[in-house]
Chains A and B, each alone.
Chain A
């Protein structure tokens, strides 16, 4: 493994010191190119109150190539398929090396707020979305409650008391 480029170190430092509201990204200790990400569902979207876990990997060619990002939490969204792969232009043809981990994650958060069934990755979901948007949104809310609202894995500090 080659040494970590200065840019990745700087980006990581800033993600920690100046985190994006509603988004967290932490590198793995044993692989600083691999990040555990969580994104809060945007308010007033079908994903509100959900916390979605993602994995983000910076390939060797980064930033000449985009990061690889995938949802780990199951989500009902026309631009995210059942494997968690995301249909987002900046992750593919519209990548630019001036974009960063934080801007990519912000774009993903924006995608949650504005699903685009006309440019689908999950065709079945997009068809449902176009056929009956209200029902699709209800299903997305249901999935959010089912899969994205579970308590986070136990933290190293041990279980916390259930006080408000």
Chain B
């Protein structure tokens, strides 16, 4: 129940951002995946300021769809520097790839949109869509093998 106390303090803290809130809720969502989850959600929904409630409910309902499995980004095909034009720019950081002497550029399956690996990894941890065309990168035929990825590993650091 320490978690709830923390969360209450967190929500009451007027400096807290929505993202911070989300990751707190995320933490609870996965670490308390036991029987009293629905009660927990009810309490939480009441605690959350009115303007955030809808977002929170939406977030729970599509919680499982968010992000891609770990290891997905690292499995994306690299784009060789020789295939980059001098003015090719990452849409996420707005930097020209070739301004970096050793750019790490990858392309997404199907749509082939290019991004810095670092930028797209961060985005794909939140959403499984391409920032340029909103194509769902997970709908690709090239499913990656997630059996080796220990998903619990990441949550463990919060536990």
Q: State the A residues within 8 Å of B (CB).
A: 5-7, 10-11, 59-61, 63-65, 85, 92-94, 96-98
Contacts and interface: CB of A to CB of B under 8 A. Distances in A.
B119 A97 contact: yes
Nearest to A7: B94
Top-7 shortest CB links A-B: A98-B131, A98-B91, A7-B94, A96-B131, A97-B92, A97-B131, A10-B94
A59 B94 contact: no
Q: Interface size bucket, B side?
A: 10 to 19
Contacts of B128: none
Interface of B: 17-19, 51, 55, 58, 91-95, 119, 122-123, 126, 129, 131-132, 134
A65 B119 CA distance: 13
B134 A61 contact: no
Contact of A97 (B18, B19, B91, B95): B91
Contacts of A7: 92-95
Given A5-B93, A11-B94, 10 more contacts: A6-B95, A7-B93, A10-B94, A59-B19, A60-B17, A61-B17, A64-B122, A65-B19, A85-B51, A97-B91
A79 to B, nearest CB: 14
A92 B22 CA distance: 13
B88 to A, nearest CB: 14
B55 A96 contact: no
Contacts of B132: 96, 98
Given A60-B17, A64-B122, A64-B123, A96 B93 contact: no
Contact of A98 (B18, B55, B92, B95): B92
A11 B89 CA distance: 14
Given A7-B93, A96-B131, A61 B119 contact: no
B17 A59 contact: yes
A114 to B, nearest CB: 21
Nearest to B132: A98
A11 to B, nearest CB: 7
Contacts of B51: 85
A93 B19 CA distance: 13
B61 to A, nearest CB: 11
Nearest to A96: B131
A41 B123 CA distance: 34
A5 B19 CA distance: 18
B93 A6 contact: yes
